[in-house]
Chains A and B, each alone.
Chain A
Amino acid sequence: MSTFLTTIGILQWFFLAYFILLYLVYFVLNGVAFFALRRHMAGEGSDEAARAYAGFELPVSLIAPAYNEAATISDSVKSLLQLDYPEFEVIVVNDGSNDATLAVLQQDFALVPFPEAYWRRLPTTTIRGIYRSTRHPNLRVIDKDNGGKADALNAGINAARYPLFCGMDADSILQRDSLRRAVQPFLEDPKTIAAGGTVRVANGCQVRNGYLEKVGLPRNPLALVQIVEYLRAFLFGRLGWSPINGVLIISGAFGVFRKEAVITAGGYRHATLGEDMELVVRLHHRYAERGTPYRIAFVPDPICWTEAPETLGMLQRQRVRWQRGLVESLSANRALLFHRRGGTAGWLAFPYMLLFEVLGPLIEVCGYLFMALTFALGLISGTAFAAFFFVAIGGGILLSLSALLLEEASFRIYQRPGHLLIFLLVLIVENVGYRQLITLWRLKGLLLCLARSKRQWGDMQRSAAWQRSRT
Chain B
Amino acid sequence: MLDFVTVSDPFVRAAVIAGIICLGFALALLAAIVTLRLVNRLEQKRQERFVGRWRPVLAAYALGERELRPPPLARRDHARILQLWNAHYEILRGSSVNQGLGDLAANLQLERIAHRLLARGKLSQQLLAATALGHLQDGSAIAVLLPRTAHPNPLLSLAATRALLNIDAPALLPELIPRMTARSDWPERRLATMLQDLGPRVVTAPLLAALPQLQPEQRPRLMRLLHTADQSHVQHLVRELLLTEADPDLLASALDLLQDPRGLPAVRELTGHASYFVRVRAARALGRIGEEEDVARLVALLADPNWWVRYRAAQALATFPGLDRGRLVALRATLEDRFAREILGQALAEQT
Interface residues of A (CB under 8 A from B): 9, 12-13, 16, 20, 23, 39, 42-44, 46-49, 52-53, 55-56, 114-117, 119, 132, 187-190, 381, 383-384, 387-388, 390-391, 394-395, 397-398, 401-402, 404-405, 408-409, 412, 417, 420, 424
Are A381 and B12 in touch, CB under 8 angstroms?
yes
A315 to chain B, nearest CB (A): 26
Besides the known contacts A115-B342, A116-B346, A387-B11, 8 further A-B residue pairs in the complex with CB atoms under 8 A apart: A43-B153, A49-B155, A52-B159, A117-B311, A190-B184, A383-B4, A405-B29, A417-B37
Q: What chain A residues lie within 8 Å of B342 (beta carbons)? A: 115, 117
Q: What chain B residues lie within 8 Å of A417 (beta carbons)? A: 37
Given contacts A48-B128, A117-B307, contact A395 B12 (CB under 8 A): no
Q: What chain B residues lie within 8 Å of A384 (beta carbons)? A: 9, 11-12, 15
Are B33 and A405 in touch, CB under 8 angstroms?
yes
The residue that B346 contacts in the complex, of A44, A117, A405, with Cβ under 8 A, is: A117
Indicate with 1 or 0, residue by residue over B171-197, a CB within 8 angstroms of chain A CB atoms.
000000000000011010110010000
Q: What chain B residues lie within 8 Å of A9 (beta carbons)? A: 11
Given contacts A401-B29, A424-B30, contact A43 B124 (CB under 8 A): yes
- B32 interface residue per 8 A CB criterion: yes
Q: 5 A–B contact pairs at CB < 8 A?
A: A52-B127, A56-B190, A117-B345, A401-B26, A404-B29
Top-7 shortest CB links A-B: A387-B15, A390-B19, A43-B123, A394-B22, A46-B124, A117-B342, A401-B29
Q: What chain A residues lie within 8 Å of B25 (beta carbons)? A: 398
Given contacts A117-B307, A383-B4, A420-B33, contact A408 B40 (CB under 8 A): yes
Are A387 and B16 in touch, CB under 8 angstroms?
yes
Q: Which residue of B lies closest to A420 (CB)?
A: B37
Q: What chain B residues lie within 8 Å of A43 (beta carbons)? A: 122-124, 153, 155
A132 to B346, CA, bound (A): 11
- B14 interface residue per 8 A CB criterion: yes
The residue that B185 contacts in the complex, of A189, A390, A405, with Cβ under 8 A, is: A189
Q: What chain B residues lie within 8 Å of A52 (beta carbons)? A: 127, 155, 158-159, 190
A229 to B33, CA, bound (A): 17
Q: Which residue of B lies closest to A43 (CB)?
A: B123
Q: What chain B residues lie within 8 Å of A391 (beta carbons)? A: 15, 18-19, 22
Q: From A42, A117, A381, A402, name the one whose CB has the most chain B CB atoms within 10 angstroms.
A: A117
Q: Which residue of B lies closest to A44 (CB)?
A: B155
- B42 interface residue per 8 A CB criterion: no
Indicate with 1 or 0, residue by residue over B25-54, a CB within 8 angstroms of chain A CB atoms.
110011011101100100000000000000
